[in-house]
């Protein structure tokens, strides 16, 4: 049941290499992001990895001006909710887009951001 | 299942304290036991809530510590953590312990101490209530989470920053009359609107403060409660959940778990939103109050901002929301918040709320939201 499983670790390793990998339910074909055992829609327990193109539009965003500990030098920075072309959404740090140019509906493209050896999801200009 | 009632309430002053969270809880609990007019030895179990004690106080195993600090070291305890809904979740389980007949008298509540650490550390610890991989990793804060919701609500319904500011002004006005509140000070619309952005579009005065404090409730089964004239009955207590991941929320401008918990609570009690006289709801951010007044069925989706602007949610308005001052002015010691909200509603239903009393309140609703809208509790209380 677990062959082809996408873990959080493998998802972020793929992301670091520039690829987004979702999971698709082999029964109802619902698309999701890991981790999932059961499909939330049909309760099936078999998924297959599916490459995502990484392009989408901003559906909401914020500019963090009071950051948590350790992030102070990075502030202000923007975090956006992006609906990917395939239909799933993903949150990411906005990079290479001026804060004042951000708006909902803006087309963006995934890019990995690696800082302190941690990979995070980034979105830059489409 | 037998009926359950609140027979005692205790709440510490909210603000900054030089005491541990379990000390704060013990004070609130001793007040609740005195208020209940029972002997301390009558308490058969403790359901205790705390969220950030691990990182902020280097303290786990807090249930027995709270009971020990109270002077009741041998009662069985369980510690709850459900982000900001912690002690309301504990309340629901305590109600079930009594309803099922396992115990007759149970103590429930919680406490938080967070003002002993710097703001950036507190911001980090609170962010632990969002997902580590997808959300914390981005530097997303809790003001940030609700800013994403606010932007979606503004885009969807035309809700404005000024409407959100009205929530803050109203809750501060209510808080003036609450001696336990962290802020007993009115603020103007201009003060809110001119305050700096924390996470656009949310400004400093759209956000509740960091707070130390404790709150406790004594619950009893019908046989014990009947002997007390001030018993307030639990008409319903419902929990609902939604996906933990913000990226999986279907509509960011709604809180699906609030809608489901409310539906469950109204069904359990056989009541409708129109029958509710007073509400304590989870205004961790001004937008959260607006979305909650819609999700709880008091206003149509999209009208929450207008309701705030028109004063419909003020004491004296259509539906009085947060007469305590809410999380915004009363303060938000996250582990204590649910129990403190319940305590406020009990005080109104008893007619003991003094200057802030909602006159003639017979049915009260409590709504508590945990984390990134993944956990919601809604309870309804009523007089006999």
- Whether residue A115 is contained in a domain is answered as yes
pLDDT of residue A34: 97
Numbered residues of chain A with Cβ closer than 8 Å to any chain B Cβ: 8, 12, 32-33, 40, 59-72, 74-75, 77, 79, 81, 88-93, 104, 118, 120-121
Q: Choose the closest CB to A79 out of B123, B140, B243.
A: B140
Q: Chain A contacts of B148, Cβ < 8 Å?
A: 60-62, 79, 81
Task: Give the pLDDT score at A116.
Answer: 78
Give the pLDDT mean for A65-70: 94
- Stretches in chain B below the pLDDT threshold 50: none
What is the domain range of residue A14? 8-52
| Position B194 in a domain | yes
Residues of chain B in contact with residue A60, where contact means CB-CB under 8 angstroms, are 148-149, 151-152, 155, 252
Say if residue B92 is in the same domain as residue B189. Answer: no
* B244 and B226 within one domain: no
In a domain, B129, yes or no: no
**B123/A69 CB distance under 8 A:** yes
Q: Which of A124, A117, A125, A123 is nearest to A16 (CA)?
A: A117
The domain total for chain A is: 2
- Beta-carbon separation of B134 and A118 below 8 A: no
Which phi and psi angles does B43 have, rounded to 5°?
-75, 130
Give the integer Cα–Cα distance in Å for B242 and B244: 6
CATH of the domain at A64: 2.40.50
A75 and A121 in a single domain? The answer is yes
B122 occurs within a structural domain: no
Buried/exposed B353-369: b ≥16 CB within 10 Å, e otherwise: beebbbeebebbbbbbb
Minimal Cα–Cα distance from A28 to chain B, Å? 17
CA–CA distances in Å: residue B232 to residues B33, B222, B235: 15, 11, 9
**C-beta separation of B21 from B116 below 8 A:** no
Please report the pLDDT score of residue A26 as a whole number.
97
Which position has the higher pLDDT, B304 or A70?
A: B304
- Do B262 and B291 reside in the same domain of the chain? yes
Q: Does B256 touch chain A (CB under 8 A)?
A: no
Distance of alpha carbon A16 from alpha carbon B175, whole angstroms: 49
What residue of A is the nearest CA neighbor of B152? A60
Mean per-residue pLDDT for A87-102? 98
B244, closest residue in chain A (CA to CA): A35
Domain boundary pick from B232, B264, B283:
B232
Contact list, A65 vs chain B (CB under 8 Å) = 196-200
* Closest CA relative to residue A10, chosen from A34, A42, A43: A34
pLDDT of A4? 64
Q: Which two tokens stand for residue B131?
A: 């997902």
Q: Cα B212 vs. chain centroid, distance in angstroms? A: 14
What is the chain B residue with the closest CA to A31? B248
Measured between alpha carbons, how far is B359 from A100 in angstroms, rounded to an integer? 48
* Statement to judge: residues B228 and B187 lie in one domain: no
The pLDDT assigned to A5 comes to 79
Domains held by chain B: number? 2
Q: Which of residues 91-120 of B touch A (CB under 8 A)?
A: 118-120
Which of B121, B135, B141 lies closest to A91 in CB terms? B135
- On whether both A30 and A75 belong to a single domain, the answer is no
Is A3 a member of any domain?
no
Residues A33 and A61 in one domain: no
A44/A61 same-domain check? no
Chain B residues within 8 A of A20 when measuring between CB atoms: none
**Predicted pLDDT at A42:** 97
DSSP H/E element including B176: none
Closest-CA residue of chain A to B145: A62
pLDDT in tens, A13-33: 999 999 999 999 999 999 999
Whether A44 and A95 map to the same domain: the answer is no
Query: What's the predicted TM-score (pTM) here?
Result: 0.98
Yes or no: say if A107 and A55 are a contact pair by the CB < 8 Å rule: yes
Q: Are B140 and B285 in a shared domain?
A: yes
Look up the domain containing B186 and give its range.
Answer: 134-208+235-379
pLDDT band at A1 (very low <50, low <70, confident <90, very high): very low
Model pLDDT, residue A3 = 56
**In the block, which residue shows the tokens 């992301």?**
A15
B127 contacts A68? CB cut-off 8 A = yes
Mention every residue, 6+ apart, whose C-beta is less than 8 A from residue A63.
Answer: A76, A77, A78, A99, A102, B197, B199, B200
Q: Give the separation between CA A93 and CA B90, rounded to whole angstroms.
A: 36
- Give the DSSP H or E segment for B349: helix B337-350
**A-chain residues within 8 Å CB-CB of B135?**
91
Q: Would you call A66 and B121 a contact, using CB atoms and an 8 Å cutoff?
A: no
Classify strands B363-370 and B278-280 as parallel, antiparallel or unpaired: parallel
Instruction: A96-104: list long-range contacts, CB under 8 Å, 24+ apart.
Output: A96/A124, A96/A125, A97/A123, A97/A124, A97/A125, A99/A63, A102/A58, A102/A61, A102/A63, A102/A78, A103/A58, A104/A57, A104/A58, A104/A59, A104/A60, A104/A61, A104/B151, A104/B155
Chain B contacts of A64, Cβ < 8 Å? 139-141, 143-144, 199
CATH number, domain containing residue B62: 3.40.47.10
Rounded Cα distance between B237 and B261, Å, is: 9
**Range list of H helices, chain A:** 8-16
* Residue B300 shares a structural domain with residue B168: yes
Burial class for B236, CB neighbours closer than 10 Å (0-12, 13-18, 19+): buried
B220's enclosing H/E stretch is strand B213-221
Catalogue the active-site residues of B.
Answer: 84, 332
Residue range A50-59, pLDDT digits in tens: 999 999 999 9
Nearest to B196 by CA among A66, A95, A6: A66
């Amino acid at each position: 049941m677990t062959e082809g499983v996408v873990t959080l670790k493998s998802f972020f390793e793929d992301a670091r290499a520039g690829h987004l990998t979702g999971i698709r339910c082999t029964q109802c074909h619902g698309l999701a992001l890991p981790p999932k055992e059961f499909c939330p829609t049909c309760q099936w327990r078999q998924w297959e990895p599916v490459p995502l193109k990484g392009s989408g539009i901003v559906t909401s965003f914020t500019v963090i001006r009071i950051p948590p500990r350790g992030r102070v030098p990075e502030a202000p920075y923007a975090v956006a909710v992006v609906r990917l072309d395939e239909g799933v959404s993903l949150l990411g740090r906005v990079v290479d887009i001026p804060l004042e140019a951000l708006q909902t509906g803006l087309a963006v493209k995934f890019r990995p951001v690696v800082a302190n050896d941690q990979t995070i999801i980034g979105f830059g200009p489409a | 299942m037998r009926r359950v009632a609140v027979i005692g309430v205790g709440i510490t002053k909210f603000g900054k304290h030089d005491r541990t969270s379990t000390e704060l809880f013990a004070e609130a609990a001793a007040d609740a036991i005195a208020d209940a007019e029972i002997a301390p030895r009558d308490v058969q179990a403790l359901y205790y809530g705390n969220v950030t004690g691990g990182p902020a106080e280097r303290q786990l195993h807090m249930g027995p510590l709270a009971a020990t600090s109270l002077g009741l070291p041998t009662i069985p305890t369980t510690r709850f953590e459900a982000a900001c809904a912690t002690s309301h979740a504990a309340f629901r389980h305590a109600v079930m312990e009594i309803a099922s007949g396992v115990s007759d008298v149970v103590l429930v509540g919680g406490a938080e101490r967070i003002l002993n650490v710097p703001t950036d550390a507190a911001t980090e610890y609170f962010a632990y209530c969002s997902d580590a991989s997808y959300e914390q990793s981005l530097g997303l804060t809790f003001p940030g989470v609700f800013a994403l919701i606010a932007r979606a609500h503004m885009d969807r319904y035309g809700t404005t920053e000024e409407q959100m500011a009205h929530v803050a002004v109203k809750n501060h006005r209510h808080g003036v009359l609450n001696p336990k509140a962290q802020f007993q000070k009115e603020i103007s619309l201009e003060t809110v609107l001119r305050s700096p952005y924390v996470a656009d579009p949310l400004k400093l005065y759209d956000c509740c403060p960091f707070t130390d404090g404790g709150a406790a409730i004594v619950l009893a089964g019908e046989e014990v409660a009947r002997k007390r004239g001030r018993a307030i009955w639990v008409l319903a207590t419902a929990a609902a959940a939604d996906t933990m991941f913000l990226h999986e929320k279907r509509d960011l401008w709604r809180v699906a778990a609030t809608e489901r918990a409310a539906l469950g609570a109204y069904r359990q009690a056989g009541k409708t939103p129109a029958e509710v006289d007073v509400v304590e709801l989870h205004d961790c951010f001004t937008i959260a109050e607006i979305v909650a007044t819609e999700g709880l069925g008091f206003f149509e989706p999209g009208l929450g901002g207008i309701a705030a602007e028109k004063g419909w949610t003020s004491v004296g308005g259509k539906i009085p929301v947060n007469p305590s001052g809410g999380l915004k002015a009363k303060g938000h010691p996250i582990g204590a918040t649910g129990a403190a909200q319940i305590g406020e509603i009990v005080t109104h239903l008893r007619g003991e709320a003094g200057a802030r009393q909602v006159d003639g309140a017979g049915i009260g609703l409590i709504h508590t939201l945990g984390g990134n809208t993944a956990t919601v509790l809604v309870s309804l209380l009523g007089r006999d």
